[in-house]
């Protein structure tokens, strides 16, 4: 049974792996046996050090997904068979005040870059005739509207939709495409919410688990979707939210 959860011999690229959820996923993949390349607009030295000090294999590359085509050449002849699309940004403002600049910035990183990076990954897999795994990081706001985050909500709805579309096209070609939808997780993106006493209290009252999640809560689900144990899982959006959507 243990082999179902092994990633020995696999090579993964994790975007936005310098901190938070991306960092935890990179460490989790390495613990399962994968060689991990950590991509971010800032150096992922801390993530790489955590992995290598534990005996794993990792390296860091600088990629700024503010350019939606930045991932286009990452996969050629590099031997990747796992891609985790975690890189993402958020902008907050009332819908009546939201700027075109903030709209475009979020959509470029969260949706456009995700699609074209995944396209490049799949093209390489298909050219080599090997199987692969894609895990996208969606959100509770793939299902709900939220407030004051119009472009983030739109982008994460798009991530869920693209996950299903790509699964439909590629499942029979040996590429599993799935997503994890984190709930309220203690990361940089949620710092403003946690700092607001009223919002923080309202959020905690809604979560059946009674706590904010941590990045490691997401890592386990993402690693599972990369292992042989999830071989027949295609087009799923796995909620890891402490029960939020069940309430």
DSSP 125-187: HHHHT--EEEEEE--GGGTS--SS-HHHHHHHHHHHHHHHHHHHHHGGGTEEEEEEEE-SBSS
Domain annotation covers residue 245: no
Give the separation between CA 237 and CA 129, rounded to whole angstroms.
26
Give the separation between CA 104 and CA 90, rounded to whole angstroms.
11
Domain annotation covers residue 8: yes
The H helix count followed by the E strand count for the chain is: 8, 7
Tally the domains of the chain.
1
Domain annotation covers residue 247: no
Task: Give the domain CATH number at 156.
Answer: 3.40.50.720
- Which of 176, 179, 160, 156 has the alpha carbon at shortest distance from 168? 176
Helical (H) or strand (E) element with 11:
strand 11-15
pLDDT score at 2: 63
Domain annotation covers residue 62: yes
- CA end-to-end distance (rounded Å), the chain: 34
Average pLDDT over residues 58-85: 96
DSSP 56-118: -EEEEEE--TTSTTTTTTSSTTS---EEEE---------GGG--HHHHHHHHIIIIIHHHHHH
| Contact assessment for residue 47 and residue 70, using Cβ atoms and an 8 Å cutoff | no
Domain annotation covers residue 197: yes
Domain annotation covers residue 11: yes
Domain annotation covers residue 80: yes
User: What are the tens digits of pLDDT across the range 4-43?
Assistant: 999 999 999 999 999 999 999 999 999 999 999 999 999 9
- The domain in which residue 234 lies consists of 2-240
Instruction: Give percent of the chain above pLDDT 90.
Output: 96
Per-residue pLDDT at 190 exceeds 90: no
Domain annotation covers residue 159: yes
User: What are the tens digits of pLDDT across the range 94-150?
Assistant: 999 999 999 999 999 999 999 999 999 999 999 999 999 999 999 999 999 999 999
Indicate which residue of 152, 184, 224, 232 is catalytic. 152
pLDDT score at 1: 57
Asked about 152 being catalytic, the answer comes back as yes
- 3-state class of 134 per DSSP? strand
pLDDT score at 193: 86
DSSP 8-state code for residue 213: B
């Amino acid at each position: 049974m243990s082999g179902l959860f092994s990633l020995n011999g696999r090579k993964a690229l994790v975007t936005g792996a310098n901190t938070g959820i991306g960092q935890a996923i990179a460490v989790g993949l390495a613990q399962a046996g994968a060689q991990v390349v950590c991509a971010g607009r800032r150096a992922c030295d801390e993530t790489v050090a955590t992995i290598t000090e534990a005996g794993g294999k990792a390296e860091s590359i600088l990629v700024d997904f503010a350019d939606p085509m930045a991932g286009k050449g990452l996969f050629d002849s590099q031997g990747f068979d796992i891609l985790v699309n975690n890189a993402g940004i958020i902008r907050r403002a009332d819908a009546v005040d939201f700027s075109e600049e903030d709209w475009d910035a979020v959509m470029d990183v969260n949706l456009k870059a995700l699609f074209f990076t995944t396209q490049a990954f799949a093209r390489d897999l298909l050219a080599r005739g090997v199987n692969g795994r894609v895990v996208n990081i969606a959100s509770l706001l793939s299902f709900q509207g939220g407030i004051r985050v119009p472009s983030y909500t739109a982008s994460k709805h798009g991530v869920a939709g693209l996950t299903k579309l790509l699964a439909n096209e590629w499942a029979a070609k040996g590429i599993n495409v799935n997503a994890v939808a984190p709930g309220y997780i203690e990361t940089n993106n949620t710092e403003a919410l946690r700092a607001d006493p009223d919002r923080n209290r309202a959020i905690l009252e809604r979560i059946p688990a009674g706590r904010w999640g941590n990045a490691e809560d997401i890592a386990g689900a993402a690693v599972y979707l990369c292992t042989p144990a999830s071989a027949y899982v295609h087009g799923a959006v796995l909620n890891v939210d402490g029960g939020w959507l069940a309430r």
